Structure 1
Amino acid sequence: MRRVQVTLAAIGHDPGAADGVFGPATEKALRAYQSSLGTGVDGIAGPRTWGALATHHAAGSTVSSGDSGTEVEYLQRGLKASSGVDLATDGHFGDQTEAAVSAYQKARGLAVDGVAGAETWAALKHGQ
């Protein structure tokens, strides 16, 4: 919960103190964030909201097999959060990351190519 609070504060939704407690201020900030995404507002930090929070700071540049760096790490965190996939967050786009991207794309009705391009990032960043 502390990570949710810290991330919400960093993106301009004040959850109050980052104390790890899901109180009224955190719920209000979470609901405001969900509303800004244009998704269902339920005040619950479920998988799709977690995925959006985990990828919020990503630039959304296209990443694919063989790439490495911060963007890949954001992607891995978003996939883990939104899909519950067992995936290392090591910043290296290897076979497991490609498979996780493909599975995410398939589950969301996106074109399945194993590459995190504009549509994949948009889905992750908007809690889809």
Structure 2
Amino acid sequence: MKAAQTQLNRYGAGLAVDGAFGDGTDSKIRSFQSSHGLDADGIIGPDTWRALVTGSSGGGGGDSGLLTHAAAAGKFSAAGVTWASSGNCSNRNSTSCTSFDGLRQASADGAVTLRGASGCALTITGGTETGHASGTYSHWNGYKLDFAITSCLSNYVTGTFAYSGTRGDGAALYTAPSGNVYANEGNHWDVTFLN
């Protein structure tokens, strides 16, 4: 049980690693299962264990670890990451929505890791919805998330990651050792999750 609690904590569960299967652990397992498209039965069977270790529920499908909005939202909720949209919606084809449909598993994991490492409250303001710049490493292709600027997040990024110049639009760039790139666009952090 300690191994499962340790794995759940990678996703922001915040459990005591004590080996006890209490209500808190049961709740976090069920939430994790739900967010990964698994039966939320609280049982750590082979599929749940694989998802805990790899971050993906598997299942073939050739989706290269792309998530549905519901799966990503569940993962973010479990980690205490919030999101907002001007239209209060999640339709990927509307610029006023914040959608996670087609978000890469690595990008979702990166946001959860950022939440845990920074200790900051995170609010996602842009996901995979239309209306962002195109390109291989784009929002639409699941590589980018926008985060509301807070002093906590800005201090963490600028104090932890190396300044790496400015983008063509003048945004200051900071690059993490993982290769993830943080661009300060003035009213939000545009983050490209490469790993």
**Structure that is richer in strand per residue:** 2
TM-score, normalised via structure 1 length: 0.43
Structure whose residues are more often helix by fraction = 1
Query: Which structure's CA Rg is the greater one?
Result: 2
TM-score normalised by length of structure 2: 0.30
